[in-house]
């Protein structure tokens, strides 16, 4: 008789594969970097365990309580659905460093790198008027190229790969003076997720689970932000709230059985950020 899969272990795998999967935002005032100047920004962002992220964790816990012994078809579907949600929408966080350069009076370019990915962007200053009213529109890319090193937590999981490619279009309006920046923005993001891993589901690893995920997500959200400081240094914070819609194709092989499922999910994501902004 097959042993019961360790759902908590599989849930940990799912979270680590795609942690911090909300669209990568930046603490960017509507006023862009002045021509010829360099801006350095450090920030930390967290996808809170609320809304869609909270729902996926609750589903995983419910599956853990309901599944026992040998899995039947409905239990295998329940387990896979719970894992797919955690793969796409887990609570988590990341820190990143970004550099922006004022290429001209109207154009800003930049790049960023974090613990699990990196990207680049360009923005155009379409509005600049007294007394400090600014508007910008841009295009941004982000690539998640690594998962959290989960061998620190368990030796029973082997990650094959975990990747995400994202394209975003941010629009920002705001007010800026020497000691303060205030801004509000909207963003549309499109992303593709691709992940695969193998996990032990019995004590001696005689039984293993193979999970493959291919998903598309769309994110529609807004952001509020503020920064306070001197003419060259600001402490900043922001809050992003958005609606994410996902469609995922799941291929799973557990306990000698294989299944394919298409999962459709939608819900709210809440992501606060804190950081420091320097002009050089």
Residue 279's Cβ-side half-sphere holds a number of Cα atoms within 13 Å equal to 19
Per residue in 172-195, pLDDT (tens digit) is 999 999 899 999 999 999 988 887
CA distance 251 to 259: 6
Q: Mean of the pLDDT values across residues 93-122?
A: 90
Q: Mean of the pLDDT values across residues 242-256?
A: 77
Please say if the pLDDT value at position 8 is more than 60: no
Helix ranges (H only) for the chain are: 7-17, 51-66, 73-88
Please say if the pLDDT value at position 13 is more than 80: no
pLDDT category, 244, cuts 50, 70, 90? confident
Which residues touch 181 (CB under 8 Å, ≥6 apart)? 29, 30, 31, 174, 175, 225, 226, 227, 234, 236
Per residue in 130-180, pLDDT (tens digit) is 889 999 999 999 887 765 555 554 565 676 777 888 999 999 999 999 899
Pairwise pLDDT comparison (61 vs 19), residue with the higher score:
61
Please report, for the chain, the start and end positions of each structural domain, with discontinuous segments joined by +: 7-279
Question: What average pLDDT does the structure give for the chain?
Answer: 76
Please say if the pLDDT value at position 250 is more than 90: no
């Amino acid at each position: 008789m097959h042993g019961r899969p360790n759902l908590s272990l599989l849930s940990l795998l799912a979270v680590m594969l795609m942690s911090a999967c909300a669209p990568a935002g930046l603490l960017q005032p509507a006023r862009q970097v002045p021509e010829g100047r360099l801006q350095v920004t450090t920030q930390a962002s967290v996808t809170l365990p609320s809304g869609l992220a909270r729902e996926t964790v609750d589903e995983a816990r419910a599956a853990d309580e309901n599944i026992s012994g040998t899995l039947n078809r409905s239990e295998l579907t329940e387990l896979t659905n719970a894992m797919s949600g955690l793969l796409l929408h887990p609570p988590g966080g990341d820190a990143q460093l970004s550099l922006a350069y004022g290429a001209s009076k109207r154009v800003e370019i930049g790049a960023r790198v974090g613990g699990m990915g990196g990207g680049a962007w360009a923005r155009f200053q379409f509005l600049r008027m007294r007394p400090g009213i600014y508007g910008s529109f841009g295009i941004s890319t982000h690539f998640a190229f690594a998962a959290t090193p989960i061998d620190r937590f368990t030796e029973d999981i082997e990650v094959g790969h975990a990747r995400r490619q994202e394209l975003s279009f941010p629009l920002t309006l705001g007010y800026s003076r020497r000691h303060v920046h205030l801004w509000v923005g909207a963003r549309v993001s499109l992303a593709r997720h691709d992940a695969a891993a193998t996990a032990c589901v019995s004590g001696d690893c005689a039984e293993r689970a193979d999970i493959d995920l291919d998903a598309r997500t769309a994110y529609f959200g807004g952001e509020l932000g503020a920064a306070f400081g001197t003419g060259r240094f600001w402490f900043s914070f922001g809050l992003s709230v958005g609606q994410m819609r996902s469609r995922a194709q799941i291929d799973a092989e557990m306990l000698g059985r294989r299944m394919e499922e298409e999962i459709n999910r939608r819900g709210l994501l809440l992501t606060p950020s804190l950081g420091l902004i320097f002009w050089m």
